[in-house]
Amino acid sequence: MRFTLKKDKSGIVIVGVEGQLIVGNRQELKQKVLDALEDGSRKFVIDFSKTGYIDSSGLGVLVSLSKKIREQGGELRLAGLNADLQTLFELTKLDTLFAITRTAEEALAAF
């Protein structure tokens, strides 16, 4: 499990989630994104292309982060969901709350 943060040339923060996003590590992701928000970043992409599974606590932290980013005038986009993760978002109807793109590159281009 590992979270990586990098910025593209226009300052968009791309967060990589390697492994899983679950109850045991969600706070680490949350803190990394909130630190970047505090530092002035407003546009975020979370890339799940290297993510195996996400539990409901992981989904919950995404909901929370999206709200906090919007409150600061920013936007969070999600990308790289495999078929199982896409289904998870659809059955929980969270696909209606998030802007989801096939790849991180598509998410970056959509800002």
Partner 1 sequence: MQLDVPSDLGMVGDAVELVASHLPPGTLSPRRISFNLRTALAEALGNAIRYGTGEDPDRVVSISVELGHGVVRIYVVDDGNGFDTSQIPDPTHPDNLPREYGRGLFVIRHLVDDVAFNEKGNGICLTLRAG
**Residue matched to tokens 């226009």:** 10
CB of residue 84 vs partner 1: minimum separation in angstroms?
A: 4
- Residues 50 and 10: their CA atoms lie apart, in Å, by 24
- Does the protein bind partner 1 through residue 59 (CB under 8 A)? yes
Distance of CA 92 to the CA centre of its chain: 16
- Does the protein bind partner 1 through residue 99 (CB under 8 A)? no
- Does the protein bind partner 1 through residue 95 (CB under 8 A)? no
52: its two tokens: 């195996």
Among 2, 4, 24, 35, binds partner 1 (CB under 8 A): 24
- Does the protein bind partner 1 through residue 57 (CB under 8 A)? yes
- 62 to 9, 80, 82: CA distances (angstroms): 24, 15, 17
Nearer to partner 1, 82 or 105 (CB): 82
Nearer to partner 1, 11 or 53 (CB): 53
* Nearest in space to 58 (alpha carbons), one of 29, 37, 87: 29
Taking contact as CB under 8 A, which single stretch among the options 2-10, 22-30, 32-40, 103-111 is the one that binds partner 1?
22-30
